[in-house]
Amino acid sequence: MRESPYPLEKSLGMRCYASDTPGIGGRLRERAEDFAVDEVFSSPGTEGPYLVCRLTKKNWEMQRAAREIARQLGISHRRVSWTGTKDTHALTTQLIAIYGVSEEDLERVTLRDIGIAPAGRSQHPLTLGGHAGNRFTITIRDTCSPDPERELAEVAETCRRGIPNYFGIQRFGVVRPVTHLVGLHILRGDIEGAVACYIGRACPGEPPAVREARMEFSSSRDPAAALRSFPVTLSYERAMLHHLVSHPGDYMGALGSLPPRLLSLFVSAFQSFLFNCTLSSRMERHGDDFSSPHPGDRLLFSDGKEDVVTPPMLAAARAMASRGRCLVAIMVPGARPVQPAGEDDRTMANLLDRYNLTPADFARASGVVGARYDGALRPASLSAIVSWTVAENNVALSFSLGPGSYATTVCREFMKADPSSMA
């Protein structure tokens, strides 16, 4: 195990690596084709009001792609659904479902670096996490390991055994990691603070003019002045500002001007932050044995059943875990009260106390944004069979992951590079 040296990772709860190598360094996403993602999905049906499409996009953020597709079809973006948001700076293929359109309507969609083709029909929209997983082919450029084959083999073996199943930095925003902070404001019932954070919190990685515009709004809270300085590319911020100009003081309405899926991500991002922090504490407590069951741990079985490890069942739990029948999991907090069972639960309870949060806050937030935050178990580790090729100073990794796990979490174990190199 190795400690991360990067303040940004530590601030998001990602304090540890499972492998102990120095890292091959390098950069991700020098070009979109360097980060290829293919969604693994079941074949759709042939009937229903939802047209299921195969969407291929390059360097498109999913929310923006959905809005532009909807605009060219002349429909609300709320009629477009998908199972996974995928990476923005990447070449991705996935399914989306569009309500109430025909195959012929797709001919009106002419967007650069977007391809869309009919794949079937469905009676229902797609839901987040509804796909089987994703296949990744990722090129890391300009690596610096003196013995890359040895290091790659060592980390690949660690990935096979299990690495921390962190929520990746893109969950919070790489250039501007504020999503979870907006979520904390929502959980505390501070809607004005949530809007001010999303619009006005400046981050070092942004262009100077954008940082200045954000800081000015944070200081003045003048939406009309901010509209004159915010660039048109910041469409979500401008939508909120337009609402505040038309409806002074209506911060709830300004928050509601965001797409529903984006709005639902804020609170879940803070849940992700709490999970990362608890997982890091587990790794610091158990070291290389973090993925093995310990008394008081929660177990998630392959059939969806849950259990808690007691001392008499410890040997059996470890045997089942070694055979892949169950995984140690951490309870992501939510509206459902949880009776603490072990050290991970107590760590999580202490974090909730630190931020003065209770299950009632998650229940109230559900009403604010229209999404449920009941809480759920998430595996503490992920395993991946990683293959690789080396060409001069470039390394290509190939592997598959289930829904909800991050490819950058795998790349991070190999690279151990500054997060800015993984944006």
Q: What is the pLDDT of residues 29-78, one digit of tens each?
A: 999 999 999 999 888 889 999 999 999 999 998 989 999 999 999 999 99
Give the β-pairing of 50-58 and 114-122.
Answer: antiparallel
67 plus 101 within the same structural domain: yes
On the question of pLDDT at 121 being above 90, the answer is: yes
Q: 76 lies in a domain?
A: yes
92 plus 191 within the same structural domain: no
On the question of pLDDT at 214 being above 90, the answer is: yes
28 plus 143 within the same structural domain: yes
394 plus 376 within the same structural domain: no
Q: Where do runs of H (alpha helix) occur along 221-259?
A: 223-229, 235-246, 251-256
The pair of three-digit structure tokens given for residue 118, joined into one six-digit string: 């009919």
The pair of three-digit structure tokens given for residue 208, joined into one six-digit string: 């100077």
- Say how far residue 220 (Cα) sits from the centre of its chain: 32
- End-of-domain residue from the set 260, 279, 300: 260
8 A C-beta contact, residue 73 and residue 108? yes
pLDDT at 422: 79
Give one DSSP letter per residue of 293-327, joined into a string.
--TT-EEEETTS-EEE--GGGHHHHHHHHHTTSEE
270 plus 377 within the same structural domain: yes
The pair of three-digit structure tokens given for residue 418, joined into one six-digit string: 């500054």
Q: 339 lies in a domain?
A: yes
307 plus 222 within the same structural domain: no
96 plus 149 within the same structural domain: no
The CA distance from 285 to 153, in Å, is 26
Domain that holds residue 193: 179-260
CA distances from 51 to 39, 77, 105, 130 (A): 18, 14, 10, 16
On the question of pLDDT at 149 being above 90, the answer is: yes
pLDDT at 170: 86
- Say how far residue 121 (Cα) sits from the centre of its chain: 28
Per the annotation, the verdict on 87 as an active-site residue is: yes
Q: 168 lies in a domain?
A: no
8 A C-beta contact, residue 105 and residue 150? no
Residue 3 main-chain phi, psi, to 5 deg: -90, 140
Catalytic one among 34, 87, 297, 344?
A: 87
The pair of three-digit structure tokens given for residue 87, joined into one six-digit string: 């990476």
Q: 144 lies in a domain?
A: yes
199 plus 150 within the same structural domain: no
- End-of-domain residue from the set 245, 260, 275: 260
Section 269-282 average pLDDT: 98
Section 395-413 average pLDDT: 94
On the question of pLDDT at 129 being above 80, the answer is: no
Section 298-307 average pLDDT: 93
- The C-alpha R_g of the chain, in whole angstroms, comes to 22
CA distances from 316 to 52, 211, 304, 326 (A): 44, 55, 18, 11
pLDDT in tens, 65-90: 999 999 999 999 999 999 888 888 89
Strand, helix or coil for residue 378: strand
Section 246-261 average pLDDT: 93
144 plus 214 within the same structural domain: no
Residues 314-337, buried b or exposed e (16+ Cβ, 10 A)?
eeebbebbeeeebbbbbbbbbbee
| pTM: predicted TM-score of the whole model, two decimal places | 0.90
The pair of three-digit structure tokens given for residue 272, joined into one six-digit string: 């992700």
For the chain, how many structural domains are there in total?
4
pLDDT at 370: 87
Beta-bridge partners for 242: none
CA angle (201, 206, 212) in 5-degree steps: 60
3-class secondary structure for 31-57?
A: CHHHEEEEEECCCCECCCCEEEEEEEE
Find tokens 């998630």 and name the residue.
Answer: 300
The CA distance from 417 to 306, in Å, is 36
292 plus 377 within the same structural domain: yes
Element (H, E) at 280: helix 260-286
On the question of pLDDT at 174 being above 90, the answer is: no
pLDDT in tens, 105-118: 999 999 999 999 99
pLDDT at 252: 96
The CA distance from 312 to 318, in Å, is 12
pLDDT in tens, 352-364: 999 999 999 999 9
Strand, helix or coil for residue 119: strand
On the question of pLDDT at 102 being above 90, the answer is: yes
pLDDT > 70 in the chain, percent: 100
Section 183-200 average pLDDT: 97
11 plus 148 within the same structural domain: yes
416 plus 393 within the same structural domain: yes
Give one DSSP letter per residue of 133-181, joined into a string.
EEEEEEEEBS---SSHHHHHHHHHHHHHH-EE-PPPGGGT-SSS--HHH
